[in-house]
Chain A
Amino acid sequence: MTEDFLLLKPDREVGIVGYGAYVPRYRLPASEVARVWKEGQDALPVEEKAVPGLDEDVATMSIEAARNALKRAGIDPKLIRAVWVGSESNPYAVKPTSTIVAEAIGAAPHTQAADWEFACKAGTEAIQAAIGFVGSGMARYALCIGMDSSQGRPGDDLEYTTGAGGAAYIIGPKEQSLAYIEGSYSYVTDTPDFFRRPGQHYPQHGHRFTGEPAYFKHVLTAGQRLMEELGYKAKDYTYAVFHQPNTKFPLKAGQALGFSEEQMQAGLLVPVTGNTYAGSSLLGLTNVLDEATPGDKVLLVSFGSGAGSDAFSLVVTDLIEERRRRAPLTQDYIARKKTIDYALYARFKKKLEMH
């Protein structure tokens, strides 16, 4: 394949007709992890992270986000021809989360359903597929969700950041969209920066190898390439949202691409939600859409370990104003919080094994 056709763009233009966020109620301050494991002395990569309650998992959280997306889209769920959930913390190893979601929101049975896996970019991967599904005319609407409730080994660096939450997007025709997609681009390589083998409860990460050769290489290449393909510079965008495993990485990546902190501020939720994995960049995008005005351009770049990045260029339309208020805003969920200590966290996340 030549490099003349790298921009992904369907024949029929598509966009986001509805979106919905979900962040669980509980918060674990990073200082609490440091208190238990590092005698209170450590560099904290976030302020706090969202923790799911005892009765929450990726299925329930996906349903919450999907219902919010449906409210904003204002469509009959039976018109959704694909329900796709991207996650690395599905409740079942074998049995789709997506069928549970499809049934719960009324999209079943005449729909396609599948779970997607690509570490933290499983959600945007589903959106890439949905662009093709809807853009080809096979479906009028497709629901894509990025949602996680991920695991960090107690005492590991990841425990500070492994949060919970995510977002749902209904992809549909451009003319019905509150933000249409100008084009997208995907960049992947075989890079073993982070993985979890079958049967393992916690992932293995490559320490500093997760940075430059993994996150930055893929995020920067995908973001830069998409802008080049579209003929844009950073200054052409009002907002930029990046996958956010911690506070430092997305800011550094954005700066390298020429974005200011102001352009990244709305899409940077990791300090208060933690890393929501497949939900990470997609949750940043819901917060951007909550405050964007018609005509604003948004660059979205995800990252999934293993590794790859999907980059999207979006333009917000006039429909945003009216649809925004149909469902809770991202900040409503962030403000709805209850701080817990490490002991309750250990119980909620089932860290205590009682034999």
Chain B
Amino acid sequence: MRDVSIIGIGQTKVGEHWEKSLRDLAVESLQAAMADAGVKEADALYVGNMLGGEFVGQEHLGTLIADFAGLRGTEAFRVEAACCSGAAALRQGYLAVASGLHEIVAVTGVEKMTDALGCITAAGLAMAADGDYEASQGLSLVAVHALLMRRYMHEYGATNADFAMFAVNAHRNAVGNPYAMFRQPISKDAFEKARMVADPINLLDSAPVADGAATVVLCPAERAREYSEQPIGVAASAAATDSVALHDRRDPLFLEAAYLSAQRAYQQARVSPADIDLFELHDAFTIMSALSLEACGFAERGEGFKLAQNGNISLEGPTPICTMGGLKARGNPVGATGVYQVVEVVQQLRGQAGPNQVEDPRLGMAQNIGGSGATAITHILKAMN
């Protein structure tokens, strides 16, 4: 297996793109990434997307996007793993380059969600849960996470307000990210007064659905400097699964897949959580931030929510998370999110994060999670300078 590097990144602003279609967004980010990498062709394009068929009536995305980006003829297809589709596509690209099969591979994550009515969006997202045993019983994806959060609060004595700083931190960081959806700070007070969505999850616990696309371009590490002055190495790529249904888990309050994929990634990169300079975690809901920090070894069981206090997770803190706004404030274009996370880690490791720059980072981690924790894919990136 060869080492793999990221030589180009591209992203669209996350938000409500009323005037742009799914293909417009995907092509825009893909062309930006290819321009960044200085390449005009790719051996393969892998597209991460969860709900193109449900939301905009379009499947067959790999070929469609390749064609409209001027890559007709190249290998191209879509990769789907619910909310983890973006990272799954990246892993596919990583494997293709690492195996020696391909030289230049583009990975695009894209989702166009705001053309669909709210009821369609909720029903679509619920497909990330177990259709027979969860969704058909009336559980939406928010409701599944509400069950998790309620149990967590019961077990560990946490309150709603204890989760506020996850959202406050994300919004504070989004202010400095021109690609973020919500570029305004929120207060702890506003969080505590936010309208309930599915008790105990309130509006500001929840990441917004959005439109957006992000792309990375990969090549073998030994050729990276042909294309980029600042290539970023992929130190680890690791995937793991758990049961799709919450009730089938050995311990619903422990994200087994997140744990396994993180452990595999640490092992591959030969690092530990203490070596990670920033962590783009999957904060679809604030409860997932707490559980991810615990599963990935940054906090003890039941202590994840405490890490949000006292600036620990801020840009200047020991464990910076959601450095460009996270899912909460950058926005969550579901199938694109995993690629956005990696693009943001690249920005940080290149020193291109502007006002959000973490001081001299060497290792950054991104973890994308599907459903309520059923699939987790972790990537660890390293600066190569």
Between-chain CB contacts (< 8 Å), 17 pairs: A41-B195, A41-B196, A42-B195, A43-B195, A204-B117, A206-B117, A207-B117, A207-B118, A208-B16, A208-B114, A209-B18, A209-B114, A209-B115, A212-B16, A212-B18, A213-B18, A213-B19
- Given A43-B195, A213-B19, 10 additional A-B pairs, CB 8 A: A204-B117, A206-B117, A208-B16, A208-B114, A209-B18, A209-B114, A209-B115, A212-B16, A212-B18, A213-B18
Residues of A within 8 A of B19 (CB): 213
Provide the bound-state CA to CA distance between A28 and B44, in Å: 60
Cβ contacts A182-207/B at 8 Å (1 or 0 each)? 00000000000000000000001011
The residue of chain B having its C-beta at the shortest distance from the C-beta of A43 within the complex is B195
Measured CB to CB, the closest approach of chain A to B189, in angstroms, equals 17
- State how many angstroms separate the Cβ of B16 from the closest Cβ of chain A: 7
Interfacial residues, chain A to chain B (CB-CB below 8 A): 41-43, 204, 206-209, 212-213
Contact residues in B for A43 (Cβ distance below 8 Å): 195
Q: Cα distance A206–B18 when bound, in Å?
A: 12
- Most-contacted residue by chain B among A42, A204, A207 (CB, 10 A): A207
B324 to chain A, nearest CB (A): 24
CA distance A208 to B115 in the complex (A): 9
Nearest B residue (CB) for A39: B196
- Nearest-neighbour CB distance to chain A for B153, whole angstroms, equals 20
Q: Which chain B residues border A212 with CB–CB below 8 Å?
A: 16, 18
Identify which of residues 108-150 in chain B touch chain A, using a CB-to-CB cut-off of 8 Å.
114-115, 117-118
Taking CB atoms and an 8 Å cut-off, the chain B residues in 92-115 that contact chain A are 114-115
Task: Give complex CA distance A208, B16 in Å.
Answer: 9
9 tightest A-B CB contacts, nearest first: A213-B18, A207-B118, A207-B117, A212-B18, A208-B16, A208-B114, A41-B196, A43-B195, A206-B117
Contacting residues of chain B (1-28) with chain A, CB-CB under 8 angstroms:
16, 18-19
The chain B residue sitting closest to A42, CB to CB, is B195
List chain B residues, Cβ under 8 A from A209.
Answer: 18, 114-115
In the complex, the chain A residue whose C-beta lies closest to that of B117 is A207
Residue numbers in A under 8 Å from B114 (CB-CB): 208-209
Bound form: Cα–Cα A153–B80 in Å:
36
Contacts of B117 in A (CB 8 A): 204, 206-207
- Could you tell me the distance between the alpha carbons of A212 and B114 in the complex, rounded to whole angstroms? 12
Shortest distance from the beta carbon of B271 to any chain A beta carbon, whole Å: 42
Roughly how many angstroms separate A278 CA and B74 CA in the complex, as a whole number?
A: 54
Chain B positions within 8 Å of A208 at CB level = 16, 114
Q: Please indicate which of the listed interface residues B18, B19, B115 has the most CB atoms of chain A within 10 Å of its own CB.
A: B18
Query: What residues of A have a CB within 8 angstroms of the CB of B195 in the complex?
Result: 41-43
Tell me the complex Cα distance, A43–B193, Å.
12
Question: How far is the CB of B118 from the nearest CB of chain A, in Å?
Answer: 5
Q: Please give the distance in Å from B123's CB to the nearest CB on chain A.
A: 14
CA distance A208 to B15 in the complex (A): 12
Residue of A nearest to B119 (CB): A207
| Chain A residue with the shortest CB-CB distance to B18 | A213
Contacts of A213 in B (CB 8 A): 18-19
Complex-state Cα separation, A204 to B116, whole angstroms? 12
A99 to B19, CA, bound (A): 42
Complexed CA–CA distance, A41 and B197 (Å)? 11
